[in-house]
Amino acid sequence: MVFLTACTLSAALLAVSPTTDAPQSGFRHPIHTYSIVARDPATGQLGVAVQSHWFSVGSVVAWAEPGVGAVATQSLADPAYGPLGLTMMRGGKTATEALRGILASDAGREVRQVAMIDASGNVATHTGSKCIAEAGHVTDADAQFSVQANLMEKKTVWPAMAEAYRNTTGDLAERMLAALEAAEREGGDIRGRQSAALLIVEGSATGKPWAGKVFDLRVEDHTDPVGELKRLVTIQRAYNHMNAGDVAMEHEDFELANKEYTAAAHFAPDIVEIPFWQAVALASSGHVEQSLPVFKQVFAREKRWVEVVPRLAASGLLPDNADMLQAIRAQAD
């Protein structure tokens, strides 16, 4: 097994960003929390889910890159573990090699709690000896996940998370949410709760920093952050189906597009904008007759959308066809 020296580590970090510092000793961000990092063997998706009694926990703890890996950095957290761990895994190091290399250069390692998983499913976790009790972790190499927690009400929190993740069916998001909910049932963070986050990326590298995120959701300040995160995941599922429907329309797969749009409406039935854009996609692709009942449904719920139609035509997002526009507007009568 290969470990990086402190000098090699600093050089690797400078290659990412000349302004990013290597892990430093001493007090950093007091992100006492519980989290899970995992890889779905079926899809290759990688993710981090976290909750804490701390504002905007996701901005510090959760890091992931498509086709590379995922990192959770917490306790007296040093955010540098996130980008540096991803850089090392992108360069071919396993999660174990990356974590051990970074810890070797960090004089404050005993107040850190960090978990990493790479695109091959290798997982590594560190709970420093000075993390505030109750603190610990469960790492499952076979199931390709790790749960870790510190400053918990009970030492049963992280085992309950592991059990929930193993025994929940569904996709990666659903299983990770189940782990967070299990932590709450066991008492969770002894201070209470404030924020949560879920970051899931595709298993294959995209080469595009803006692409490959399946879920990138944060609840910054809420009385029930895990519950609110679960609500946002449902809405994101709707928009994921909307995006898939748009792609299907681009490929002129009308049947698949309708299936995806219907699924989107199922996940978020209260969002009127979802069927509106479905109708726009149908009309703009020549399926005007199929679009009219959808427009009618939208206009009956919120008439303001009638005024959006001519604006779309003026912007080229709908054909500037007088008869078609008249037929659409007639659905508001």
Question: Tens digit of pLDDT for each residue in 35-60?
Answer: 999 999 999 999 999 999 999 999 99
Cis previous bond, 134, omega within 30: yes
Burial of 304 (0-12, 13-18, 19+ CB in 10 A): exposed
Question: What integer pLDDT is reported at residue 252 of this predicted model?
Answer: 83
Q: Does any domain span residue 207?
A: yes
Q: Mean per-residue pLDDT for 202-222?
A: 93
Per-residue three-class SS string for the chain: CCCCCHHHHHHHHHHHCCCCCCCCCCCCEEECEEEEEEECCCCCCEEEEEEECCCCCHHHHEEEECCCEEEEEEEEECCCHHHHHHHHHHCCCCHHHHHHHHHHCCCCHHHEEEEEEECCCCEEEEECCCCCCCCEEEEECCCCEEEEECCECCCCHHHHHHHHHHHCCCCHHHHHHHHHHHHHHCCCECCCCCEEEEEEECCCCCCCCCCCEEEEEEECCCCCHHHHHHHHHHHHHHHHHHHHHHHHHHCCCHHHHHHHHHHHHHHCCCCCHHHHHHHHHHHHCCCHHHHHHHHHHHHHHCHHHHHHHHHHHHCCCCCCCHHHHHHHHHHHC
Of 220, 253, 278, the last residue of a domain is: 220
Query: pLDDT above 90 covers what percent of the chain?
Result: 83
pLDDT in tens, 116-133: 999 999 999 999 999 999
Cα–Cα distance between 273 and 296 in angstroms, integer? 13
Q: Are residues 109 and 196 in the same domain?
A: yes
Residue 16 clears pLDDT 90, i.e. is over it: no
Evaluate whether 153 touches 80 at the Cβ level (below 8 Å): no
In sequence order, the β-bridge partners of residue 218 are: 197
CA atoms within 13 A on the CB side of 32: 20
Q: What is the pTM of this model?
A: 0.88
Nearest to 330 by CA among 282, 302, 301, 293: 293
Q: Are residues 171 and 293 in the same domain?
A: no
Q: Does any domain span residue 229?
A: no
Q: Does any domain span residue 1?
A: no
Residue 24 clears pLDDT 90, i.e. is over it: no
Query: pLDDT above 70 covers what percent of the chain?
Result: 91
Q: The CATH number of the domain where 183 resides is what? A: 3.60.20.10
Q: Are residues 192 and 49 in the same domain?
A: yes
How high is the mean pLDDT of the chain? Answer: 91
Question: What integer pLDDT is reported at residue 141 of this predicted model?
Answer: 97
Cα–Cα distance between 156 and 186 in angstroms, integer? 7
pLDDT in tens, 79-108: 999 999 999 999 999 999 999 999 999 999
Question: What integer pLDDT is reported at residue 312 of this predicted model?
Answer: 94
What's the domain count of the chain?
Answer: 2
Q: Are residues 169 and 254 in the same domain?
A: no
Residue 301 clears pLDDT 60, i.e. is over it: yes
Q: Mean per-residue pLDDT for 160-175?
A: 98
Question: What integer pLDDT is reported at residue 18 of this predicted model?
Answer: 35
Question: What integer pLDDT is reported at residue 30 of this predicted model?
Answer: 75
pLDDT in tens, 135-146: 999 999 999 999
Evaluate whether 6 touches 24 at the Cβ level (below 8 Å): no
Domain interval for residue 250: 238-332
Binning pLDDT at 50, 70 and 90, where does residue 258 land?
Answer: confident
Q: Does any domain span residue 76?
A: yes
Q: Does any domain span residue 20?
A: yes
Residue 23 clears pLDDT 80, i.e. is over it: no
